Chains A and B, each alone.
Chain A
Amino acid sequence: MPQQRFPKIEIKHIAPHEITFVLSETDTSMANTLRRIMIAEVPTLAIDLVEYHENSSVLNDEYIAHRLGLIPIRYSPDGTLKGGDCHQAFVPHRECVCYDRCPRCSVEFDLDVNFDKVNMSRPEQERDLPLTVTSRDLIANNVQVSPAHFLNEEEQDNAHDEGISIVKLGQGQHLRLKAIARMGISKEHAKWCPVAVATYRFWPEITINQEACNNLTMEQKQELVDACPDRILELDEITGNLKPTEGAEELATFTEDLKYAQDAMKRRPEDDDYVQVTHSTDRFLFSVESSGAMDAEDILLSSLRVLKDRLNYLAAEVEKLKD
């Protein structure tokens, strides 16, 4: 007998770096599995190997390698700035048939910054200042892959920022290296994590017991409104009744302040609550923020694909057990 559910998705907002949506008609296990996969198992590209040819900067090799590893690397299949899912384009390096590395499983970046050479082309007044080597100096051997500096062209044009700084060079210093990016998941290292934040909250159910509230004075109602630091309540200007503010569901933090405030107002401890804020059990407000390596909506889609692949794999393995 199938026990399948048909969850619903309602999108609140999409931006390249952020997606908020409501997942409903499923349970916590599904919501949490999605969250866990988005954090730990969505594959992305990140610099994994660095070959140094010359490093006379103030930072040592390991330090720079660590910094390079944490730069989000974006795979944009169609020449736009959109960060796409890279799992079809690359194979995990451990599964690749090549001997060491090949374009199928890795992307090479070259970085060659020589202070003395670059300094000639800098404005006169800046020549005494140290030169910052940034992620923009990384040149990939694959046009579809680039370090993620900006989410869109507009931001890139407006920002004063010059990419992600790697190290500052002074006179006579030279940094030349080859960085090799590979596909991986953040179970191995957090640099492969596509999300900065991936969280969900239970949808709050705010019930106001108007009958009980009628026994309250305006001052007491105002006190209840003030008690909530997350500002989920307000007074109706016309009727003077308590009502949830607009978008209260997205603001609610389930704080205990409200409970204490109304307990103090009750005549008897067993009286009904004036306002109740409870966790809904099958409605989740997700908020996913990308690190820049992938667009937020693609992270969501990719996580679903990872889950689907995993379940298919497990199903096949269970079939094998039956024999």
Chain B
Amino acid sequence: MANRPERSDAFLLGDDEEKIEYQPDTKVANAGTFTLNKEDHTVGNLLRMQLLRDPQVKFAGYMHPHPLVNRIHLKVQTSTSQVAPTESLSAAIEDLSNETDHLITSVTDAIEKWKRENDTGMM
């Protein structure tokens, strides 16, 4: 139909868009909402679950406003004023990044190991 959104809108950042925007909560202390543009549940759920594992995070939740809206809102509240939500998010991303690194090496090793053990000559 005429007003169909472009498919590429789902992953290409617009010229006037920032990847991440942060809005501190005006009513709750140590809380704020991150808006991640051009992201969906893939990253949203991953970050939320990682944030929830942090003992200094009191609340972490995300919302995908509408299937046609290509951004997520990630709300984070920390338990102390020592740690800003931005710090927690940064730490969560860091941990996930390391986890992914670990996965990459273990997958590579596992594939090599499997091929050694099952040398079919196919590879």
CB–CB under 8 A between A and B in the complex? yes
- By a CB distance below 8 angstroms, the chain B residues around A10 are 110
B116 to chain A, nearest CB (A): 11
Q: How far is the CA of A8 from the CA of B99 in the complex (A)?
A: 10
B86 touches A318 (CB 8 A): yes
Which residues 73-123 of B sit at the A interface, judged by CB distance below 8 A? Answer: 86-87, 89-104, 106-108, 110-111, 113-115, 118, 122
Tell me if A297 counts as interface (CB < 8 A to partner B): yes
Closest B residue to A298 by beta carbon equals B111
Tell me if A312 counts as interface (CB < 8 A to partner B): yes
Closest A residue to B43 by beta carbon equals A310
- Size category of the B interface is 35 or more
Closest A residue to B98 by beta carbon equals A4
- By a CB distance below 8 angstroms, the chain A residues around B45 are 29, 32-33
Closest B residue to A94 by beta carbon equals B12
User: A6-B102, A30-B46, A304-B100 are contacts. A322–B86 as well, Cβ < 8 Å?
Assistant: yes
A304 touches B94 (CB 8 A): no
Most A-side CB within 10 Å, residue of B86, B97, B100: B100
A314 touches B11 (CB 8 A): no
B101 touches A308 (CB 8 A): yes
A155 to chain B, nearest CB (A): 11
B11 touches A185 (CB 8 A): yes
Tell me if B48 counts as interface (CB < 8 A to partner A): yes
Which residues 5-42 of A sit at the B interface, judged by CB distance below 8 A? Answer: 5-11, 14-16, 21, 26-30, 32-33, 36-37, 40-41
- By a CB distance below 8 angstroms, the chain A residues around B18 are 317
Q: How far is the CA of A36 from the CA of B54 in the complex (A)?
A: 24
Q: How far is the CA of A57 from the CA of B50 in the complex (A)?
A: 55
A5 touches B99 (CB 8 A): yes
- By a CB distance below 8 angstroms, the chain B residues around A11 are 110-111, 113-114
Closest B residue to A307 by beta carbon equals B100
